[in-house]
Amino acid sequence: MEEALAEARRKYRNWGRWGAADALGTLNYIDDEKRAAAARLARTGRAFSLAVQLNSAGPRAGDRGLGNPVHTMLDSGLDAAAGTQGFPHGFGDADDVMFMPLRSGTHWDGLGHVYDNKQAWNGRYCADVTTGAGDQVTGAERQAAAFVSRGVLLDAGRALDAGRALGGELPGGFAITEDQLQKVIAAQGPSARIERGDIVLIRTGQLSFCRRLGGWEQYAAGPAPGLSFGALGWLHGSEIAAVATDTFAVEVRPHEFAPPCHLPLHQIAIPNIGLFLGEMFDLEALAADCAADGRYEFLLVAGGLPVTGGVGAPVNPVAVK
Amino acid sequence: MEEALAEARRKYRNWGRWGAADALGTLNYIDDEKRAAAARLARTGRAFSLAVQLNSAGPRAGDRGLGNPVHTMLDSGLDAAAGTQGFPHGFGDADDVMFMPLRSGTHWDGLGHVYDNKQAWNGRYCADVTTGAGDQVTGAERQAAAFVSRGVLLDAGRALDAGRALGGELPGGFAITEDQLQKVIAAQGPSARIERGDIVLIRTGQLSFCRRLGGWEQYAAGPAPGLSFGALGWLHGSEIAAVATDTFAVEVRPHEFAPPCHLPLHQIAIPNIGLFLGEMFDLEALAADCAADGRYEFLLVAGGLPVTGGVGAPVNPVAVK
Amino acid sequence: MEEALAEARRKYRNWGRWGAADALGTLNYIDDEKRAAAARLARTGRAFSLAVQLNSAGPRAGDRGLGNPVHTMLDSGLDAAAGTQGFPHGFGDADDVMFMPLRSGTHWDGLGHVYDNKQAWNGRYCADVTTGAGDQVTGAERQAAAFVSRGVLLDAGRALDAGRALGGELPGGFAITEDQLQKVIAAQGPSARIERGDIVLIRTGQLSFCRRLGGWEQYAAGPAPGLSFGALGWLHGSEIAAVATDTFAVEVRPHEFAPPCHLPLHQIAIPNIGLFLGEMFDLEALAADCAADGRYEFLLVAGGLPVTGGVGAPVNPVAVK
Amino acid sequence: MEEALAEARRKYRNWGRWGAADALGTLNYIDDEKRAAAARLARTGRAFSLAVQLNSAGPRAGDRGLGNPVHTMLDSGLDAAAGTQGFPHGFGDADDVMFMPLRSGTHWDGLGHVYDNKQAWNGRYCADVTTGAGDQVTGAERQAAAFVSRGVLLDAGRALDAGRALGGELPGGFAITEDQLQKVIAAQGPSARIERGDIVLIRTGQLSFCRRLGGWEQYAAGPAPGLSFGALGWLHGSEIAAVATDTFAVEVRPHEFAPPCHLPLHQIAIPNIGLFLGEMFDLEALAADCAADGRYEFLLVAGGLPVTGGVGAPVNPVAVK
């Protein structure tokens, strides 16, 4: 495994590519022209939110002892109805607060989220990047306007399950390789051709599977379909701006190396390639629409909340076809 | 004042306009065609995030005893550098959590946020809408895909301060009337013409003022420029989808009626018109760009986080010109 | 079951016993004399904390979608060591925050926590007691000084498992009846005799069981040993000030009535008797000490955090023998 | 100032005094005998909670961007009254959560809270003590049973304001020296004599002052009465177990050295002496009682919540006279 990591580092490392001060990584592949072209893909005006709802029954069931978002009211319509709020002239209100792990719903992993042998993106020493005060160099506030591009949906669940034996839901442990990605692209046709600067959304069907069966335990911690470590060459060479999936952690679980092994694709993708990984994207409605009209490209606007120093960015990604 | 409220209710109430089950209010003015047309405004590809950063030094200084967002790390690059995380093969990570009042940064007020004599939007009894479990009818999760439209910036700060005596920053207590809005539109030219379904962004300059002087106390609780109660006729009649400002509460403070008076424009706009109000939008960079090229229209994608039952929706609005 | 509830209400209801304004319930059984006598039980000076540690691996595993306490650092010794804190003359510090459900560690259920047919303790209408702003009448801040009394440990786990077949750990579903409580008292001798105003701590052994086996899922949601509904007569008649156990919910699970049934003992004990129930008390070290010296009485000081309006009170109960 | 710090380190450093593994610092002065003797001081049974209430209007007004505790309901009596909770047989409930900086109410500063030139208590390297995961060596969970001792109230506010010109409230900037402490002790008589292992509570009157005038801004950040740096010799030599005041930070503000200067007494007391400092103790009711009966000693039970790794411990201290 160390050899595989070493080879991947050697081949895919983008350090210095966008200057020493860079805080955007592969988002640099997106430029004004790309954004303008992406906007032209929004032809019909149909819009889709790709975010899972944030609530205490959500998909982050206890990962590392953390829970789901907890949303509570400071006061509500019940208080207003009771007449105890003390406002004049018939005014009433409701207000609320939330506590959430930044990675407990649909989110982007920030560049400061994962390190490779104490090195963060661009070769920085991890302790110089992220301290108790958060990410000082590549925090979520620095990419707030950057996630606007052409989005392409690769519906691996549907395309790789041609006979529909699985109902379009890949099983846990299913590793999506570069070959399989190419197969999906070919099956979906020209609108699925990947270009520099695209944000690629890969649907495995696992979110649908867990939602249908009502159990999130497997989603957060069990076997999951996802990208193969071997797909890193494609992730790097295709010069995409970001990749997101409908799973908890993008990459296949169990991992493809012998234990102890922890998120090896993350370890190359984030600190070495500078690639943004999106997790827990809800691609169901968008995928149904794409399957219906055969068009897999769209405008994607997916900038996360600019939490200062955040190593994760909760996001409501919106696709417009 | 009661007469003014009564008259406004009589003239501007949209109850039933979009059916009994409606959860979108004035967002109904946006349709596929509107969204497609809006996308065509993204010609140059320049993108702007309109969100203030979320951190504990933010603009919500103590309103109602609440504070700003608090973002803390579970572990950081310092832990990874110390070698105490226990991961294999050189893997290291950082992770984080956040606590925030939903209205502590850039946000949309939800339809369940304000009531008029115990009635919420569409004439519903407020206690049937928002309970201790949040907004059961019009929660933030229901508008996640709906905030995509033509955005128009009305830079009242610049246009109403023609001589630049104020540096483009309207003073506290400055009430923006319908006449003044028309004056801004006229000054800005054809690209600022307001159409049905637009999302209107009004820059007063107060965010710039407070940021420049380093004090948020006035921003959250002191005098503020903002919409006049008299502007409600225009807000209703222009059939806009939403309106947002760079202030804490959209409407002018002190209010234009004798105390006790609390957010009278909110009381008509939210439960009666069904209008979405956006607060604490950072319009500075966008406004500078519009002033430079004279084009005040753009694609705006501004769907908030889908907090289930949220009466507020934190959002990273993105404008693309 | 309705008959059992009705009979219990009729027999055990203490409404009005301590006046209309009462906020102390059975804590009224404790007076200065009782406290002074309790202090005289602290003869050797051996002190025991009865609180479980508060952390994200704690015993509240996902009950109602909520998690355990989440404790995070604002900055730490790693930041101080890195020299990035900006303090003068070699000063460094660490600081922290916490998010917690009030019932996620060792706590007292407040009188405003449970209602019986919309009636709270003392016959108050539940909506007049607890609103979105918390418990307005019997909140945790009102009992802050009241939990000082003679404590008595009833080690049901040890006494009812005379042959030690269970290792002193009663199994899930084991209902502790009044007869069994009397048996425990008899087995433990004179120091375990219960008197008016005592705070009774009942050890079932379940905390030890779950800790030993490393699984909290059963603790929060599965079968549990606990007080029988039939023990309510004794809880009422003995005029104790409070009762606490080492389980998640004091009463036996599954409940002794046919489903649907939810916490029937709570429904009588809290709103009708006005009895304080303590949950998740860690009685292991204290129980070992009592088993060793045969003395089961002690001074107990167990006032919870005075969260204004709290319907639960996190507490670090301290016993001194 | 560096000389003063250096001299204080040389004279008062207790490193190694209780062994290399120590996690109790000056709490080691308390033993079983001390606790048993302390319990004998609880003669009348009158009990006092010394904690400020925890709510969003509390005394921590914005220190370092942090706020007060925020307590919110998950559901309340309003929900139970509305009949929407879905429980059987007339059961209803209310439940709540809290977010709080650990130092936002009455609390003990932990030994891992402050460092002196990167050294924590007992000479440990600060980065080895407190990481992103909290205090690994001296966290709050390790002192949970240790704060039981003789408490002594030194009412400096009353004793040093003999003519009552100040109403028993010392002004901001009033530095309490060793001489003045001796004067207080002498004025209060034999029950105020300080002995090894005592927990000393010093009332300045500032909490009363701020509460009376309704403003917390000064409390958290403005001038405050408090211990003089010169009192460190007494704090060390008297071999007390802990000291607490009714102020935000125990020591006098402004500090007695030229700026830049930050909490110099903390810098010696915590990492060098190993002394526990208690802050924001509400001593008003206790002080009135002591003034009335002339007895200033009592049993004090003041163990904080055992937050694993906490560098602060929220506490409800209870005094029994």
Are residues B101 and A99, on separate chains, in Cβ contact within 8 Å? no
Element of type H or E holding A292:
helix A284-293
**Phi, psi at B139, each rounded to 5°:** -60, 165
- Alpha carbon A111 to chain centroid distance? 13
Q: How many angstroms separate the CA atoms of A295 and D32, rounded? A: 78
Cβ contact C50:C287 at 8 Å: no
Compare CB distances from B53 to A74, A141, A318 and report the shortest one's residue. A141
C→B interface, C-beta within 8 Å: 70, 72-74, 76, 78-79, 81-82, 96-97, 99, 132
C100 contacts on D by Cβ (under 8 Å)? 97-98
Residue D57, SS3 per DSSP: coil
Q: Which distant-in-sequence residues (6+ apart) come within 8 Å of A79 by Cβ?
A: A85, A92, A94, C131, C132, C133, D78
The whole-number pLDDT of residue C292 equals 97
Q: How many angstroms separate the CA atoms of D305 and D105, rounded? A: 12
C312 contacts on A by Cβ (under 8 Å)? none
Structure token pair of residue A131: 């301290």
pLDDT tens, residue by residue, C159-214: 998 777 888 999 999 999 999 999 999 999 999 999 999 999 999 999 999 999 87
Segment B109-135 shows an average pLDDT of 97
Q: How many angstroms separate the CA atoms of A232 and A8, rounded? A: 8
The whole-number pLDDT of residue D202 equals 98
DSSP C105: S
Q: Which distant-in-sequence residues (6+ apart) come within 8 Å of D239 by Cβ?
A: D26, D29, D196, D197
The whole-number pLDDT of residue A241 equals 98
Are residues A66 and C70, on separate chains, in Cβ contact within 8 Å? yes
Compare CB distances from D97 to A70, A76, A96 and report the shortest one's residue. A70
Residue of A nearest to D76 (CA): A78
pTM for the structure as a whole: 0.96
Compare CB distances from D74 to A72, A82, A132 and report the shortest one's residue. A72
Structure token pair of residue C69: 């306490």
Chains touching B (at least 3 CB pairs under 8 A) are: A, C, D
Q: How many angstroms separate the CA atoms of D314 and D302, rounded? A: 10
Residue with the two structure tokens 């809005």:
B181
DSSP class per residue in B4-69: HHHHHHHHH--TTTT-TT---GGGGG--HHHHHHHHTT--S--EEE-BPPBSTTSS--SGGG----
D74 contacts on A by Cβ (under 8 Å)? 72
Residue of B nearest to C96 (CA): B72
ipTM above 0.95, yes or no: yes
Q: Which distant-in-sequence residues (6+ apart) come within 8 Å of C86 by Cβ?
A: none
Residue of B nearest to D96 (CA): B132
Is the Cα torsion angle B189, B192, B194, B200 positive or negative in sign? negative
C-alpha separations of D316 from C140, C197, C242, D208, D281 in Å: 11, 21, 18, 18, 9
Cβ contact B117:A54 at 8 Å: no
pLDDT at B169 > cutoff 60? yes
pLDDT tens, residue by residue, C141-160: 999 999 999 999 999 999 99
pLDDT at B106 > cutoff 90? yes
Residue of A nearest to B6 (CA): A89
Q: β-pairing, B114-116 with A91-93?
A: antiparallel
pLDDT in tens, chain D (321 residues): 899 999 999 999 999 999 999 999 999 999 999 999 999 999 999 999 999 999 988 888 755 556 889 999 999 999 999 999 999 999 999 999 999 999 999 999 999 999 999 999 999 999 999 999 999 999 999 999 999 999 999 999 999 987 778 889 999 999 999 999 999 999 999 999 999 999 999 999 999 999 998 778 889 889 999 999 999 999 999 999 999 999 999 999 999 999 999 999 999 999 999 999 999 999 999 999 999 999 999 999 999 999 999 999 999 999 999
D101 contacts on C by Cβ (under 8 Å)? 74, 95-97
Compare CB distances from A97 to D70, D96, D132 and report the shortest one's residue. D70
Higher pLDDT, B68 or A23: A23
C-alpha separations of A127 from A134, D115, D128 in Å: 10, 20, 15
D54 contacts on B by Cβ (under 8 Å)? none
Which residues are bridge partners to D199 per DSSP?
D151, D242
B78 contacts on D by Cβ (under 8 Å)? 127, 131-132
What parts of chain A have a pLDDT lower than 50? none
| Average pLDDT score, chain B | 95
Element of type H or E holding D34:
helix D32-39
Q: Percent of chain B at pLDDT above 70?
A: 98
Element of type H or E holding C308:
none
Q: Which of D78, D126, D308 best probes binding to A when mutated, by most A CB atoms within 10 angstroms?
A: D78
The whole-number pLDDT of residue C65 equals 57
Segment B283-298 shows an average pLDDT of 98
Cβ contact A204:A170 at 8 Å: yes
The whole-number pLDDT of residue B60 equals 80
Which residues are bridge partners to A155 per DSSP?
A203
The whole-number pLDDT of residue C172 equals 95
The whole-number pLDDT of residue B163 equals 74
The whole-number pLDDT of residue A123 equals 98
The whole-number pLDDT of residue A65 equals 57
